[in-house]
């Protein structure tokens, strides 16, 4: 289970998927027929296919979980922050998907994938040298966090620091270590971290501070970080959030590219939504689709959280739409 599971923490941590890569052309561009118009209430039956796409969250159901560096304030020298901000500037969701593909599909190590990305994107060019010293970059216990941690290692090494990457586990483990200075840097997700610190500083029943607005979310995060002895670098445009996926063949057949189009064209009995069991209760999953978009599905299939069961369900036409994180390598073009 990922260290930053959003559904498992309720209304906290998922984010705006607006502008997600779909990797698809106009309807019919792959030789498919023109989009089918479904009768009202009929819904859209699953359509098998290998390529998956994420539907655009055009009404911004999700919150802004942009990736950014979290730094122990005592270690946040200007050269450290500037080096880490180069990673944020180079990352977007499309590039993050490709990085995840390099590890998950192409079977490269996070270290190798990061080094190739750094070389291809000029990450170490013009990095200012800092005073030096040892820096430990912490990472969550999932590949994406480890790969970004390796990118942080590369730029900080170029800035003159002696850097190691240490996989620590989930946020409940690495955040206290970051506060204590046992690690100095860790990749984070803006909305999820904001609500984690919000609960820690203001209590578990505190009103949410994150939103689909990345500027407002990072502003709230910065204020909470000051109370915890943490500094945050610039947020990248790369996001890893709850996203709702369909097959390319499904999108072509029914003419859907956004969640609004899904609700308009596919509400009805034939539509099957797949995801983890808690999706039926969490506000950023099935209830959110119903409330924000007016989507009505015929049935729900209890699978996993963005994992192989959900992807297989989409590809083999047992579900119409499934919950898969927005930076998953499954969206990479085959």
Residues of the chain within CATH 3.10.105.10 domain(s) are: 67-232
How many Cβ atoms are within 10 Å of 33's Cβ, its own excluded?
9
pLDDT digits (tens, 9 = 90+) for 63-74: 999 999 999 999
The answer to whether residues 3 and 193 touch, using CB atoms and an 8 Å cutoff, is no
Rounded-to-integer distance, Cα 284 and Cα 300, Å = 15
The answer to whether residues 288 and 294 touch, using CB atoms and an 8 Å cutoff, is no
Residues of the chain within CATH 3.40.190.120 domain(s) are: 14-62+241-331
Rounded-to-integer distance, Cα 90 and Cα 235, Å = 11
- Sorted by sequence, the CB contacts under 8 Å of residue 206 that are 6+ apart come out as 198, 199
Instruction: Please give the structure tokens belonging to residue 150.
Output: 């390796």
What local confidence, expressed as pLDDT, does residue 40 receive? 59
Instruction: Please give the structure tokens belonging to residue 62.
Output: 């999700």
Rounded-to-integer distance, Cα 99 and Cα 328, Å = 10
The answer to whether residues 64 and 210 touch, using CB atoms and an 8 Å cutoff, is yes
What number of helices (H) and strands (E) belong to the chain? Answer: 11, 10
Query: Quick one: 318 exposed, middle or buried, by C-beta within 10 A (0-12, 13-18, 19+)?
Result: middle
- Sorted by sequence, the CB contacts under 8 Å of residue 61 that are 6+ apart come out as 14, 17, 212, 259, 284, 288, 289, 292, 293
The answer to whether residues 284 and 11 touch, using CB atoms and an 8 Å cutoff, is yes
pTM: 0.86
User: If you classify domain 67-232 with CATH, what class do you get?
Assistant: alpha beta
What local confidence, expressed as pLDDT, does residue 92 receive? 97
DSSP per position, 186-221? EEEEHHHHHHHHHHHHH-TTPPP---S-HHHHHHHH
| Assigned CATH for 14-62+241-331 | 3.40.190.120
Give the chain's residues under pLDDT 70: 1-40, 334
CA distances from residue 106 to 1, 103, 109, 144, 288 in whole angstroms, order as listed: 21, 6, 9, 14, 35
């Amino acid at each position: 289970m990922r260290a930053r599971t959003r559904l498992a923490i309720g209304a906290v941590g998922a984010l705006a998927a607006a502008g997600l890569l779909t990797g698809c052309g106009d309807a019919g561009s792959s030789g498919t027929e023109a989009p089918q118009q479904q009768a009202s209430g009929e819904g859209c039956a699953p359509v098998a296919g290998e390529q998956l796409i994420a539907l655009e969250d055009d009404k911004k159901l999700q919150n802004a979980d942009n990736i950014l560096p979290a730094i122990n304030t005592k270690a946040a020298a200007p050269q450290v922050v500037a080096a880490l901000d180069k990673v944020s500037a180079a990352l977007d969701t499309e590039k993050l998907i490709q990085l995840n593909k390099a590890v998950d599909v192409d079977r490269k190590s996070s270290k190798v994938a990061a080094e190739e990305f750094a070389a291809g994107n000029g990450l170490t060019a013009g990095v200012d040298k800092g005073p030096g010293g040892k820096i430990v970059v912490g990472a969550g216990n999932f590949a994406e966090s480890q790969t970004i941690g390796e990118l942080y290692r590369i730029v900080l090494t170029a800035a003159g620091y002696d850097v190691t990457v240490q996989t620590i586990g989930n946020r409940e483990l690495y955040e206290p270590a970051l506060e204590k200075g046992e690690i100095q840097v860790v990749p984070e997700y803006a909305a999820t971290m904001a609500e984690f610190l919000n609960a820690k500083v203001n209590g578990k029943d505190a009103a949410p501070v994150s939103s689909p607005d990345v500027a407002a979310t990072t502003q709230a995060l910065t204020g909470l970080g000051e109370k915890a002895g943490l500094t945050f670098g610039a947020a990248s445009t790369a996001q890893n959030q709850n996203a709702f996926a369909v097959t390319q063949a499904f999108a072509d057949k029914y003419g859907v590219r956004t969640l609004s189009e899904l609700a308009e064209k596919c509400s009805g009995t034939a539509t099957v939504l797949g995801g983890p069991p808690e999706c039926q209760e969490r506000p950023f999953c099935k209830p959110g689709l119903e409330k924000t978009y007016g989507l009505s599905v015929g049935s729900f299939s209890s699978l996993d959280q963005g994992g192989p069961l959900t992807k297989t369900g989409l590809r083999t036409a047992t579900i119409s739409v499934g919950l898969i994180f927005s930076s998953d390598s499954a969206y990479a073009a085959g």
